[in-house]
Structure 1
Amino acid sequence: MVGDGEGGSSSGSRTASGDSDVVRRERFSGGPAREFLSSLAADERIFDADLAVDRAHVVMLAERGIVANDEAGDILTALDIVEVAGHDDLPNGEDVHAAIETAVIEEIGPVGGKMHTARSRNDEVATCIRYRLREDLLDAVEATVTLREALLDVAAEHTETVMPGFTHLQPAQPTTVAHWCCSYAQALARDTARLLDAYERVNRSPLGAAAFAGTTFDVDRERVAALLGFDGVLENAMDASATRDFLVESVSALATLSTTLSGLAEDLVVFANKGYVALSDDYSSTSSIMPQKVNPDTLELVRATAGDASAGLNGLLTTLKGLPRAYNRDLQRATPHAWEAVDAVTHATDVAAGAVATADWPEEVLEDAASEGFSTATGVADLLAAGGLPFRTAHEIVAKASESGADYDAVAAAAEEVLDDPLSTYASREAVEAALDPVENVASRDSLGGPAPEAVAAHVERAGTELAEDAAALEARREALATANAALREEVNGYA
């Protein structure tokens, strides 16, 4: 009886527990998990990419005799219908790839399922990401080209406009607006190169890798790659479907670009504060309470973009760290970091270009400021060293002169004190006064890469040639993609 009683009690407990289990299962079944897994909304960005990948794959399947020509025609026609309807009209699905396939099947019946023959969503999504990202990278390259052009235009106009130069935000040496512009144009040239390098590795096709171990079907991976405008395939199927190092490389290049932009923006914010540059109203705003203020808001946001990009890179690296081969669902969370970074940085680059192109540089204000803080001191020390003094002795003389003034008399008195010789032993009054003048001081630094007008003008010319080469490289890549897209459309029209 004791056993029966315990059994009865146990049975009652199971009933209550069973009811609770049912409630819990009903509460947590379906919806939350499906919503958490779904990337359909975010996949709108690769909707067109997926359609292109589907079309190229189906054309290849027909060419290889894996699906019949009429079946390929029905599938390709259905894909055109799906494209016209748009992403928002897709049926519910786990992602855009499954939703498009479902829409095709709803349009033409089960034969639509043949579209997925000899591939997996693993290689499909990797291909779609690369297909879209390469366009985004070219947009970023174009933005850097535009900013470099704006900087070089300003430089060509201001080769003789002297301005203060700084180290540690302290007056250091006079330079020119052109020299400052060229410093950023040169850095941006490297940013352009990094983006173009990343593009080369993005523009490789994973399609045909299937889940990670290839396929038993006699597919032609090179043909699909050519139809999609890729420069080739990623041969190893496991690496092809699993790797996202192309995202890391791309976001790293974007983060580096954003760091360049942040420095440029910071300089312009500081210059605006000191009255060295006047930003256009289109790139400034007024205070909501203080009517006299003009705030460099757009440049402050450009400066902040570096935080977005570096955070995206860190998020991407953290997501990818330690993932085993081959495919893991973590990768679904990796890609948005790239989209957010490329959008933010490209937009910031465009804004920076506009701010530079429309800014005014007050030449008289800049020249007056160029000699502040005895910024011509190094030129005087160089002059004395050229006259035969050890540079350290010349440095001592000019440092002592700076305690009492930044003129010839102060330098002459310091030389007498340090050397017991007149200053004229090492440099004429005329030469010293020229070195003390910001304009002459700048003109004397005509070595390669220096700020002298002739040196900067030569640099602007060389940088312009490099810029034209990068613009041509950009156009060639755009034309190659357009040619491939037209060729794919022609092949599709042969079936649909």
Structure 2
Amino acid sequence: MTSEEPGDSSVVRRDRFSGGPARGFLSSLAADERIFAADLAVDRAHVVMLAERGIVEDEVAGEILAALDDVEAAGHAALPGGEDIHEAVESAVIERVGTEGGKMHTARSRNDEVAACIRYRLREDVLDAAEATLALREALIGAAEEHVGTVMPGYTHLQPAQPTTVAHYLLSYEAAVRRDTARLLDAYGRINQSPLGAAAFAGTPFDVNRERTAELLGFDGVLGNSMDASSARDFLAETLSALATHAVTLSGLAEDLVLFANRGHVELSDDYSSTSSIMPQKKNPDTLELVRACAGDAVGDLAGLLTTLKGLPRAYNRDLQRAHRHAFDAADLVAEATEVAAGAVATATWNEEALAEAAGEGFSTATGVADLLAMAGMPFRTAHEIVAEAAPDVDLGDDPASAVATLDAAAERVVGEPVSAFVTRDAVESALDPGESVESRDSAGGPAAPAVADQLDDAETTADADAAALAARRDAIVEADDRLTAEVQRYV
């Protein structure tokens, strides 16, 4: 929807500021379609409150509320022109009701109105994003449960480091995504506060009931300082930071899966892959590459928002018109990327044979041998030196006796005695085995099966609690909408 033609009278600006070449530049009406439903809800709650306080007559309130129903039924595309959704809706109401329709805007400003609309809509987007993280956690937990005993190589600096399991690896991402969920739910609490009643920034002389409009809209409370209420956009920054952080988590997961697919450790479902337009043998992890790229968009949105907010004076400035779109764009993109990542994880096939073979590459159990010597009383740094001395000549694909002999020779050079003077040969051979190495690491949070079982229990318990918290927030919104609908019906 475009703004009014230059020269048309504006319900807000009248004739003086209604024309000019910058009129279209000022308009946000097209972008405001996203908050169309929010604007109608905010209008209804405000009008109900005005009627309850005796600020607007019941009959006029009924006419305005009926007009808002007509506006909703006609849709955003049918709105008259205007600088923004708020002016356009008000104009549409006045067209239907007459000048009395202008009482809808009593005791408020577009400043507190738009702040309320943004919060009203954004809270839904945040819950959608949080729900997507829960789906990803469910996929990670489900895959982990299937691969508690699947040994795989663990990497640092992209080099073979220590053996671990697929379950332990996947749960490492579940833990990160769990924090991402928590950040989004925390942000929701600060989003869901009502700025209505702050007016332009200095409050209003009318006897408004701010708590009532907050209740009707499902907000958890009101923002105390009216200047802060109208101008604050830190809730956008917090939300975008949580989304960008989650996008970075997704990017790491996507990168790992791309690399693992390249090495033959995992095969992605055809549903999450594509082929080349010219090379028919190719199976490319394209969806995950796009998930990886989404982090750049989300971080860019965060940078754009913070740059817009940087240095703005109190209270309202028109710069804020361009602030919230960053959060909405990121919310859409990151939620979709999360859903794709969840699907890719849930449908991936892990190559257990190839993973087991790769688990011992690069003498990955070296730390286990050093730990074994240290547990026998040798200073760890000395044990580290012995194993480092032997490392270039140890190949876990050889006969274990050969690796033990290599370690004995290295120990003779470093401390003048063989390894067998400190620990049994059987213990060394066990420490050299990737599977045995994993099972020895049973400290809390480790990859051994009992430790992983504890992590799975914790992951499932926390996921259930977060799902319940999310559902409670959704239920509260629905209940508030029902309350508002019932109150509107008393006047219409």
1:129 aligns with 2:121: no
Residue 238 of structure 1: aligned partner:
227
Report the alpha carbon displacement of residue 278 of structure 1 after superposing the two structures with TM.
0.5
Deviation sequence 1:8-47 (CA, Å, 0-9, x none): xxxxxxxxxxxxxxxxxxxxx9463111000000000000
Q: Within 1, Cα distance between the matches of 2:309 and 2:168?
A: 41
Q: Secondary structure at the match of 2:384?
A: helix
Residue 9 of structure 2: aligned partner:
none
Which amino acid in the other structure matches residue 427 of structure 2? A
Within 5 Å, give how 1:241-260 maps onto structure 2: 241-260=230-249
Q: Secondary structure at the match of 2:314?
A: coil
Q: Within 2, Cα distance between the matches of 1:317 and 1:363?
A: 46
Residue 481 of structure 1: aligned partner:
477
Q: Within 2, Cα distance between the matches of 1:281 and 1:32?
A: 52
Q: 1:403 aligns with which of 373, 385, 392?
A: 392
1:445 aligns with 2:434: no
1:177 aligns with 2:166: yes
Considering fraction of residues, name the structure with more helix: 1
Q: Within 2, Cα distance between the matches of 1:289 and 1:435?
A: 48
1:417 aligns with 2:413: yes
Q: Within 2, Cα distance between the matches of 1:153 and 1:161?
A: 14
1:226 aligns with 2:219: no
Q: 1:81 aligns with which of 70, 84, 87?
A: 70
Deviation sequence 1:92-138 (CA, Å, 0-9, x none): 11100100111111112111111111101000000000000000000
Deviation sequence 1:200-244 (CA, Å, 0-9, x none): 000000001111111111100000000000001011111100110
Q: Within 2, Cα distance between the matches of 1:404 and 1:373?
A: 11
Which amino acid in the other structure matches residue 448 of structure 2? A
Q: Secondary structure at the match of 1:403?
A: helix
Q: Within 2, Cα distance between the matches of 1:377 and 1:362?
A: 24
Report the alpha carbon displacement of residue 420 of structure 1 after superposing the two structures with TM.
2.3
Q: Within 1, Cα distance between the matches of 2:405 and 2:458?
A: 42
1:71 aligns with 2:67: no
Deviation sequence 1:278-323 (CA, Å, 0-9, x none): 0111111101111111111111111111111111111111101111
Residue 295 of structure 1: aligned partner:
284
Residue 186 of structure 1: aligned partner:
175
Which amino acid in the other structure matches residue 285 of structure 2? P
Q: 2:267 aligns with which of 258, 278, 292?
A: 278
Which amino acid in the other structure matches residue 485 of structure 1? D
Q: Within 2, Cα distance between the matches of 1:31 and 1:267?
A: 54
**Alpha carbons of structure 1 residues 285 and 31: separation in structure 2 relative to 1, 3 Å:** farther
Q: Within 2, Cα distance between the matches of 1:361 and 1:320?
A: 46
**Alpha carbons of structure 1 residues 141 and 430: separation in structure 2 relative to 1, 3 Å:** same
Q: Within 1, Cα distance between the matches of 2:307 and 2:417?
A: 66
Residue 104 of structure 1: aligned partner:
93
Q: Within 1, Cα distance between the matches of 2:202 and 2:283?
A: 60
Report the alpha carbon displacement of residue 403 of structure 1 after superposing the two structures with TM.
1.6
Within 5 Å, give how 1:373-384 maps onto structure 2: 373-384=362-373
Report the alpha carbon displacement of residue 392 of structure 1 after superposing the two structures with TM.
1.3
Within 5 Å, give how 1:348-363 maps onto structure 2: 348-363=337-352
Q: Within 2, Cα distance between the matches of 1:42 and 1:222?
A: 29
1:470 aligns with 2:460: no
Normalising by structure 2, we get a TM-score of 0.94
Report the alpha carbon displacement of residue 468 of structure 1 after superposing the two structures with TM.
0.5
1:312 aligns with 2:301: yes
User: Is the Cα contact below 8 Å between 2:201 and 2:230 reproduced in 1?
Assistant: yes
Report the alpha carbon displacement of residue 491 of structure 1 after superposing the two structures with TM.
0.5
Residue 324 of structure 1: aligned partner:
313
Structure 1: runs of 5 or more not aligned: 1-28
Residue 199 of structure 2: aligned partner:
210
Structure 2: runs of 5 or more not aligned: 1-17, 396-402
**Alpha carbons of structure 1 residues 68 and 171: separation in structure 2 relative to 1, 3 Å:** same
Q: Within 2, Cα distance between the matches of 1:473 and 1:84?
A: 33
Q: Secondary structure at the match of 1:209?
A: coil
Q: Within 1, Cα distance between the matches of 2:90 and 2:345?
A: 48
Report the alpha carbon displacement of residue 273 of structure 1 after superposing the two structures with TM.
0.7
Q: Within 2, Cα distance between the matches of 1:232 and 1:100?
A: 26
The CA RMSD over aligned residues, in Å, is: 1.0
User: Is the Cα contact below 8 Å between 2:407 and 2:418 reproduced in 1?
Assistant: no
Task: Choose 37-46 or 151-160, whichever is displaced more.
Answer: 151-160
Q: Within 2, Cα distance between the matches of 1:288 and 1:413?
A: 56
Q: Secondary structure at the match of 1:171?
A: strand
Sequence identity percentage: 71
Q: Within 1, Cα distance between the matches of 2:419 and 2:244?
A: 52
The structure whose Rg is larger is 1
Q: 2:430 aligns with which of 407, 417, 434?
A: 434
Deviation sequence 1:433-488 (CA, Å, 0-9, x none): 11111100100000001111110111111111011100000000000000000110
Q: Secondary structure at the match of 2:479?
A: helix
Deviation sequence 1:403-436 (CA, Å, 0-9, x none): 2123222212222222222321111111111111
Q: Secondary structure at the match of 2:393?
A: coil
1:46 aligns with 2:35: yes
Residue 148 of structure 1: aligned partner:
137
Q: Within 1, Cα distance between the matches of 2:424 and 2:21?
A: 84
Residue 22 of structure 1: aligned partner:
none
User: Is the Cα contact below 8 Å between 2:273 and 2:283 reproduced in 1?
Assistant: yes
Which amino acid in the other structure matches residue 476 of structure 2? A
Residue 12 of structure 2: aligned partner:
none
Deviation sequence 1:158-192 (CA, Å, 0-9, x none): 11101000000000000000111111111111111
